[in-house]
Structure formats: structure tokens, C-alpha cells
Chain A
Amino acid sequence: MGSKNIVQVFNKLDDLKLVFNYGQKIIPIIQNLIDFMRETVPLLENINNSISESTSKIPKASHKINDVTHATELATTEILDMVDNISGEISKLEKTYDGKFNEMKSIFTAEELEGAKESIKKIKDYSNNITLSLQVQDITAQQLAAVNHLIESVQKKLGELINDIEDADLDKIDRMNLELDEKITFDPNASYIKKDDHQKVADMIMDSNNLSSQEEVDKLFCK
């Protein structure tokens, strides 16, 4: 071994010494990293458990929303049936009024008869307004369906996350399926705000030469 080689060995030894020195400096950092991971693992497990728990609760929330939709649908149908009955009775009353008008003229004053006629008309208008307001059920049903759709998407993503984190029990995730009714369709932007502007635009697009104005509609119904 020549002196050149010995110099190279010493150089290598110096390099090794530097590595050891660097190692001594880095060991505390690695130790800190290990401590940090020790503390983080339970936290991650907590997060994972929370995600699992939340995911398992989502189908229940979704079913509750469906229950609300069905309950309001039932109630609305019942109210509409009642309005239908009221309208039927009012129509009968109107026919009787018209049929007995001449006889009533000898009993009641013209003012009283006019008042009765006006009352019948008002009741019919109120009935019409009730049916108009009850349409809020359909609009809210569509909004709730949109929320359910969103919940389904979140549940799906959370399910995938659980699967990625812990090689989750796939059966467990399958059991969490929402079993949403795929036949439900909805407009996520459905709104109960009555905007004549939208209808006017639609009318213009559909037939600019044969526009059905509100005045024409009112005229037909003698408003």
C-alpha cells in the first residue's frame, strides 16, 4: 500500500467521521419524528373512528329526510282533498244562488245579493290560492332530494376514505349503503319564489307572436 493510498483511506475516514457527526445531529430529529408519530397515530385512529361513525349515521339522516318528504306529501294530499271538497260545495252553492236568484230578489236587497256573490267568488279565489301555496311541498321535496343526493356523495367518499385508511371491512361499508330510491328525480335549483319574470321569458321564447299575458288570463277568469 503506497502513501497515496493511505491518504485516500484517511480521507475516507474523515468522510466517515463527518457522517457520524451528522448522524449524531440528526438522531434527535429522528427521535422527535418518532415521538411525533407515536402521538399522531392515536389521533389518526380517532379521526378514522369518527369518519366510520359519521359514515354509519348518514343512512339514518337520509332516511329521516325521506320520511319528512313522505309525511309532507301525505299531509299536502289531505289538505288538497279538503280544498277539493270545499270547492265542490261552493260550486253547489253558486248553482243554487244562480238558480234561485229571482226568488231571492224578493227577500234580499240588491246589496246583500251582490255581497253574497262576492263572498262566493272570494272563497273560490282563496281555494285557488291554497293550491298555489301547497306547491311548496313539491319544491321542498326536490330540495330535500338534492340534499339526499349530496349526502349520498359524501357517504360514498367517506366509505372510500375508510377503505383507503384501514383496509376496511368491505361488507361493513356495503351495509352502510343508503339504498336511495334511484327513481327520485329533482331539480337542485327548484325554488318556491314566485317570479313572473321567468314565466314571461318562457312565454316570449315559446311564442313571441302569441304571448299569453297575465291580463289575458285574468280576463278569462273575470278578475
Chain B
Amino acid sequence: MKKVILVVEDSPTIRKFVAFAMLSHGYSVIPASDGMEALEKLPNEKIDLIITDLNMPNIDGLELVRTIRNSSEFKDIPIIILTSLSGQNEVEAGLHAGANSYLIKPFDPKRVVYEVAKYLN
């Protein structure tokens, strides 16, 4: 059975890039355009891993990570942050929020696939 990845990203092009990379490596993808949509979809699907941006409307990436880590049901899902924010403080904020990996844009699709495989395979 294909592993399911929730891709949370407000940019349609980046969402497509990530989906493109994941689908071509045998994963199934569920897209969400912000943290709020992600939290709405989370209980309805069996999500194996989450890839999320940080800068997003409604509920941003950090808040999404914190919310998931505080939830008893979804707290163990691996989370990869994929963002253009590259400052040390921002990375540390991602770490403290509970993200497993932090990837900086522009990203090499191979690196994203590698990180996903690290948690799922």
C-alpha cells in the first residue's frame, strides 16, 4: 500500500513540485494550501508523513507543527519543514516546534525524497 504524504504549501507551483517528486517515487500525495486545510484533512486520511511550508495564511507552518505535536492522535507523524526561511533562529524554532527535518528552498527534489525515505522506508 502506498504511503500517504500530506503536502502543506500555499504556492501552487511548489505544491506541484513536491507532489511531482513524491508521486514519481511511489508515494501518494494529499495537498493542502495552508495549515487550517491540513488540520481539516488530517483526521479524514491516513497520513504517514507531512511536508509543510512555514509562511502560510490562516494557520502557518510552525503553528501547524505545534498543533500536531500536541495532539495525541497525530503526534508521531514525521514532519518535514520546507521553506525559504533560512535563518538560524527560524531553524531552531522549527526544531523546538517539533519538526523532524528542515529543508531550505530552492530545494533539490532528491533531498526531499531522501528525507521522506528516511522516515517512511
Contacts and interface: CB of A to CB of B under 8 A. Distances in A.
Interface of A: 73, 76-77, 80, 83-84, 87, 91, 128, 131-132, 134-139, 141-142, 182-187, 189-192, 194-195, 198-199, 201-203, 205-207, 212, 216-217, 220-221
Interface in B14-65: 14, 16-17, 20-21, 24, 55-58, 60
A220 B117 contact: yes
B84 to A, nearest CB: 4
A206 B105 contact: no
B71 interface: no
B94 to A, nearest CB: 8
List 10 tightest A-B contacts by C-beta distance, closest first: A198-B86, A135-B106, A183-B57, A190-B84, A185-B55, A202-B102, A202-B91, A205-B91, A217-B114, A138-B11
B106 A132 contact: yes
B84 A80 contact: no
A2 to B, nearest CB: 87
14 contacts: A77-B12, A80-B17, A128-B109, A136-B106, A138-B11, A141-B11, A142-B84, A191-B84, A202-B102, A205-B95, A212-B101, A212-B115, A220-B110, A220-B114
A87 B24 contact: yes
B118 interface: yes
A218 to B, nearest CB: 8
Contacts of B24: 87, 91
A139 B108 contact: no
A22 B57 CA distance: 68
A191 B95 CA distance: 22
**Chain A interface, DSSP helix/strand/loop, else mixed:** helix
Interface string B63-100: 00000000000000000000111101001101100011
A135 B107 contact: yes
Contacts of B108: 128, 132, 217
Given A187-B55, A212-B115, A220-B117, A73 B102 contact: no
Q: Which residue, of B84, B99, B101, has the highest number of chain A Cβ atoms within 10 A?
A: B84
Given A76-B13, A185-B10, A202-B104, A131 B109 contact: yes
Contact of A73 (B12, B111, B117): B12
